[in-house]
Amino acid sequence: MKRFIGILMCILILFCPFLKVEAEAGVCPNEILTGVGDVYDNYALYGLDVMSFHCVRDGCHLDIERKEEADAGLRYILDNGFPNKQIDGFKEATRYAIINYMVKMGYVDTEGSYQQDYKNLMVEIENFLPTQLEYEQHCTNGNWNAQCETVKLILDLFNKPVEIQKEYEKNYTDEVILNGDSELRKSEDGKYYETGLLNVQRSDVSEYNVELTKAPEDALVVDKNGNEKTKFNINDEFKIKVPVDKVNSNQINVKINIDDSINTYYIYKSKAPIEVVSYKTLSLDEDYLNVIYSKPCKKTIKDSKEFYLDIKADSIVSVPPTAAYIPLIILCVGLLAIILSFTIIMKKVKNNI
């Protein structure tokens, strides 16, 4: 193991300057016919179970078709593995990281017919990796510098995906959610009704637009610094501001529009069945080779949702100027009628005397 680690470190030292991000996202094909032991046009195929792992590593012809989208853990490995980040040794690291992830997540049956194959493969993986202690020793004595960062990238391929997937499952939502204080209250200067800081939540979305669909004249959408803006990144915060003298209702409508394009990856299965350890999740059929295509694909997400924001009940809502004079006019007419009636009565009394 020590000898292999030494060789790995030498490889990393020689090739670390060439570490780069590649593979612009496009449209993933519906079907692929290829020998999957090689890399073609800056992409690779990786096996998801022990049988397809050996097929991919040793080389074989596959006629495969696109199925489910990869989960967050697999997406992380491919975003940070070969060939999307290129360095000599990353291809094998990516292969091992995928199998390691599948086993840790319980996605494959390691107790079935290929139990011994999995045991042998996990030993290969253990011998391949430098330990965390060895990494810390190498990276804290001042001798490795940028090279130890590359080793960390490899270790992250093995250590982060499970945590990332579990966090994704915990926070996943496929609907638009508006978080924050959405009730409009008077600002300190008394010129506006405004919300607190708001933000939008929806998984797999990177940006969104805010539209005021039912709001008074001169109502504004602003970022947290007060700059007028309608397009935001998913982690941004914004406010709604309405001039006090323009409010004529206790409610305004805010519509969140999403028209986004994100990168994802897809799992493929062989079109012909073969005896393999079945892949447990994502509804893939048993008895097929299951592989993942390493080139990112564009996925379009369109969604919208309207929210109704209330102006705080104890705030004084301005009334349009014309309407404000109506009660005063009624009062004046009433007073004139009383005065006139009193004058007539007094004249009659005086005449009688």
How much of the chain is in helix, strand and coil states, percent to nearest 5?
35, 30, 35
Report how far residue 82's alpha carbon sits from residue 243's, in angstroms, rounded to the nearest whole number. 54
Q: Residue 222 phi/psi, 5° resolution?
A: -130, 155
191 φ/ψ sector (left φ>0, alpha ψ -120 to 50, else beta): alpha
Residue 262: what residue type? I
- pLDDT at residue 283 in the model: 43
Report how far residue 105's alpha carbon sits from residue 167's, in angstroms, rounded to the nearest whole number. 13
Report how far residue 180's alpha carbon sits from residue 232's, in angstroms, rounded to the nearest whole number. 15
Residues 53, 161, single domain; the answer is yes
Residue 7 within a domain: yes
Residues 242, 105, single domain; the answer is no
Residues 88, 28, single domain; the answer is yes
Residues 236, 211, single domain; the answer is yes
CB 200 within 8 A of CB 191: no
DSSP codes, 211-279: EEEE--TT-EEEETTS-B-SEEETT--EEEEEEGGG--SSEEEEEEEEEEEEEE-EEEEESS----PPB
- pLDDT at residue 97 in the model: 94
- pLDDT at residue 50 in the model: 84
Residue 346: what residue type? M
**Secondary structure (3-state) at 328:** helix
* Structure tokens belonging to residue 11: 């490889």
Residue 145 within a domain: yes
Provide block-wise average pLDDT over 10 residues at a time, the chain (353 residues): 43 37 64 61 80 81 86 94 77 91 87 82 86 71 66 87 93 88 88 91 89 88 92 92 85 90 88 62 62 87 90 53 60 74 67 62
- pLDDT at residue 143 in the model: 61
CB 210 within 8 A of CB 256: yes
Number of independent structural domains in the chain: 2
Give residue 193's domain range. 177-261+303-310
Which residue is listed with tokens 């007060």?
A: 226
